[in-house]
Amino acid sequence: MSAPGRAGHSPEMVEYSGAMNLDETELTLGLPGGESRGKSGTKRGFPDTIDLSIGAKRRSLTGGGEAAKDPDIAVAERREDEVSGTISSKPPATKTQVVGWPPVRSFRKNVMTKSCKFVKVAVDGAPYLRKVDLEMYSSYQQLLAALEGMFSCFTIRKYLKERKLMDPANGGEYVPTYEDKDGDWMLVGDVPWKMFVESCKRLRLMKGSEAVGLAPRASASTCTSSSS
């Protein structure tokens, strides 16, 4: 299985990192490089997406079959299926960075980045990725409550000390972990909140069984301190 710190990247994804922008191999629902993200109108609960996720992920990586076709062509084929109505004749654009798009003035962008701290949130087994702005919360409790809201199937266990997220459908526990500035994967909740906000680069809700290797940075006694 995937090692901690790789956010669930399977070997196939790593193989294709040369062909595609690594960002495009992030866990997202739908096609990498696709403008139409394939998201349907209503958000589906996690249990609904489980079966789909395994299938979709594989299709999007290998291009619709067991054999590895050229991923870019496969992407184009999928897009023709997905977009009903008039099929435009232009070639599907790859998802490169485009100058000046979206049309937000750099003045506005520069000022805003000062007060935001967006980090990606990955959930093991979920086919989609979310982003949260850590600046919007002032405690671990608020953050976990927000995560619960987003990945709507979890409930925070009563014992906040443990800070695990339960998935009733799956029966497993999800442990919130994060990658810090140094690239190490840590358990969420071990350091004071502000320090966490500063050092957190991305979040991952790991399956309980996977998190065994992650030792808390401090001793168990700090875990009992209030979540602030």
| Contact predicate 177/210, CB 8 Å | no
Report the interhelical angle of 46-62 vs 71-82 (nearest 10°). 130
Shortest distance, position 199 Cβ to another protein, whole Å: 19
The torsion defined by the Cα of 51, 209, 191 and 136, in degrees rounded to 10, comes to: 10
| CB nearer another protein, residue 6 or residue 43 | 43
Cα separation, 88 vs 169, in Å, equals 41
Site map (CB under 8 A) of another protein, residues 113-132, x = contact: -xxx-x-----------xx-
Cα separation, 54 vs 48, in Å, equals 12
Interface with another protein in residues 53-92 (CB under 8 A): 82-86, 88-90
Using rule CB under 8 A, residue 96 touches another protein: yes
* Interface segment toward another protein; rule CB under 8 A; list 96-104, 153-161, 184-192, 197-205: 96-104
Shortest distance, position 218 Cβ to another protein, whole Å: 27
Q: Is 211 exposed, middle or buried (0-12, 13-18, 19+ CB in 10 A)?
A: buried
Tokens of 51: 């079966």
| Contact predicate 124/49, CB 8 Å | no
Q: Which residues contact 51 (CB under 8 A, 6 or more apart)?
A: none
Using rule CB under 8 A, residue 18 touches another protein: no
Using rule CB under 8 A, residue 136 touches another protein: yes
Q: Is the peptide bond before 102 cis (omega within 30 degrees of 0)?
A: yes
Instruction: Return the residue of 22, 54, 70, 109 that touches another protein, per CB under 8 A.
Output: 109
| CB nearer another protein, residue 36 or residue 228 | 36
| CB nearer another protein, residue 113 or residue 222 | 113
Instruction: Return the residue of 11, 18, 100, 183 that touches another protein, per CB under 8 A.
Output: 100
* Positions that interact with another protein (CB under 8 A): 23, 28, 35-37, 39-41, 82-86, 88-90, 93, 95-109, 111-112, 114-116, 118, 130-131, 133, 135-136
